[in-house]
Chain A
Amino acid sequence: MSGPNHGSNHSGDYEERLAAFVGVEVVPPKPGQDPVNVPMIRHWVEAMGDQNPIYLDAEAARATGRDGIVAPASMVQAWTMRGYAATAAGPAPVNPGRGPGMAELIALLDEGGYTSVVATDSEFEFHRELVVGDHVSAREVVESISPEKTTALGVGRFVTTMRTYTDAGGEVVAVQRWRTLRFRPKPKTEPQPEAAQEPEPKAPRPRPAINRDNEFWFAAARDHRLVIQRCASCQVLRHPPGPCCAHCGSFDWDTVEASGRGHVYSFVVNHHPRHPAFEYPLIVAVVELAEGTRLITNLVGVTPEEVEIGMPVVLDWLDADPDLSLPVFRLREGSN
């Protein structure tokens, strides 16, 4: 395996340090930079394509029975965002006289390798409409931090917090349960312009069904040895592996190592359905070995148009992944 190993960070100690954040108020109540105001609402409703006049036109708002302009409910979070200047300045400093806060939690997640983040859920409860002049504060408490999960984006942890939005009088105007996935980004898979890299398989090759009767064959394959089962009583070779000789009925067997030479007995070209583990067009062949047994395999280094029945082939090995090597065959050079 390559890449940094973060395994040591998942010790009980790391889990305990994460767990210590649960229930902690990581963002203390902090008033937003500006009270609810029309210019910010205007930017918001333009971004939202929201043409409801109650957000910009006091007359229209009063015509609905309101006292004046109101802010869109979904905007509540915006009133408490710290803005670009603070973001550019870096993580918020430790709060003097307080315990660890959000900056420390994020640092701890970074330490565990969870350096990327995506939001997964948001649950708002709205208690009242915000009006121009409201000054909104938000506090944030960690509700839970999940064990490490494997997701499509990578391994990570779901961090759930509860944000409480209050007005200048301390009354709750909205609450928001907020869940993000903090994850370890997968290695880059973007195509390189140089085209120098091997195309990465998109999915692992399907696992063979291994049992006590055939495990020897796949174990030998992992060592790049193509073996053929041989009846210990009548010496007849057989493939695929099985417990009993079809010729004499004996259960005694050993193996011989194949020469790796053979010819194409038959083949098909698989176009559909496509499995993400395979390269297409996929040539599936029955190769008859020089020893006389046949096996189902793939032909590599050859196009479907070039394949002919009877074509001499030679063994090669496909190392699909660390746990799976399989025999494949390529054209035997100089034999025609």
Chain B
Amino acid sequence: MSLLALILGVSTFAQESPRVQSPMPELPVSLPGWLSNRGADALFYKAAPYNWAINRIPAFAKDMYATSVGHAMAYEALVTGKSQELESKTFVTIDRVLKNPPSNPIDEAEISPRFVQKYGYLEKVFDWAHTLHFQTIDVLMHPGWSDTQKEAEIDRLWAFYSSEPYAISGLPTNMEYLDSFPYSGAFRKNYPKVNGLFWGYHWLQTVNYDMLFRVPTADQKPQYALIGQRYHETELYRTDRDFMPMTAEMSPRFARRFPEVTNAFDNLHMLHDNVNDILAQPNLSDSAKQSQVKIAIYRVLASTHRGEKPGEGEPKTLHDHRFPYGMPGMGMMVGSDESSMYMSGMGWMDMSECAHCSIPLPDEGPWGATVSAEGWTMTVRCMMCARDMAAETPGRAIIRAATEDENRLLVMISDEEGNWTSNIKGIVFLEEFGEHPNCSLWSRVFTSRSAFDIFVAKVPELKGAKALSLDQWSKLNYGTPDTYRKLNRPNPYHKDPPIRLRERRDE
């Protein structure tokens, strides 16, 4: 423990280890042979009835199509010697497209021809992963299938994706390690506005899965009215993020069900960040940049990690596949351990606990609910925690909650005043306030009065419990629970000691 920490009595400082600083990587002994292939190797998506179901929500589809533009334009600027225009002219150009999104998908290679001349092999990795992104969305938005069918198809999609050599690993990967090279962070530091756009649409690309997963197709579009507004007004222009948005942070329900897909998206986004940083290096030659991009690809390829398993691996190395407890769909982050991690904008979190009452989330059964507000999504144990957490947050919110019917997900959207609308008419709430460790028992939601009665009749301690309408339930508020435990640790992304001191004094 440092003398400074002793003086301040900050015991948590003792648990911190220095951030990983890796040397400039060297080419591995053998790179995958396909990196040298001269063919374009264009791949078509899996033929299926759900393809282009994304167009069922035109605003969402257009926003997603527009995301193809940003990286391509920035990469093109970087390889054509126009890096000095990135924060001005290029930013304006990308932003204009994001504000006026196209109606059809865009071929990134066509708007970054010079980049593709140099890094065509990288484009293969990006294209194939983006195909997985879009087809997963299409499956979730397909109106003709049950949730069970959709989940089985996403498993098949993952197998289809993984069959190609360009596939990115579905293992959780240590993000601290992947972001620890001499070039790491250069792009976000030197081009914060453009990087903000990138991370902004990575937010959109990751937040949408919980908007869609197990949500009836008719209930998907209303959520995008809120999410799309947040995306355009705030998320695209944030320059205060410590790290890129992680899929499990934005879509925890989807991430728990499909950890491999989720990890592949995060590894893809990390590859984007690595490439941004490499291309933004003024002191690297073209040849050195080519080598570093190949190494960055190698790090995240599935073939590099063949035979390795989630939860295993030497900490803070390339083969560290540990994950925070309860969240197999996310690799370890800067400063994190199995029980806690730092989430930008939210502070230190334990993803195995309810974000509102800090009671451990149940391992099985209904998962409770998630609350999405202010750009974040948190998992909570019960409806009371969901409501009260949303009430603590300014602005609109979305609650997605399990009901007694596992095939009927409750989606509630609030307005600015906290008035809720529900996708299920006649929902009934149970809220017999008691001990928080049992809150998932006495605070629940049911699709009908009869379902409420059946549940209450089975639990003796709930005898006489009142059935609450949405209106009655909305008016309740128990504030922050006594059990809530805030993890008071400094932001691990801020390495400057004075910031640590300042944060500590504020607590």
Answer whether A and B are interacting partners.
no
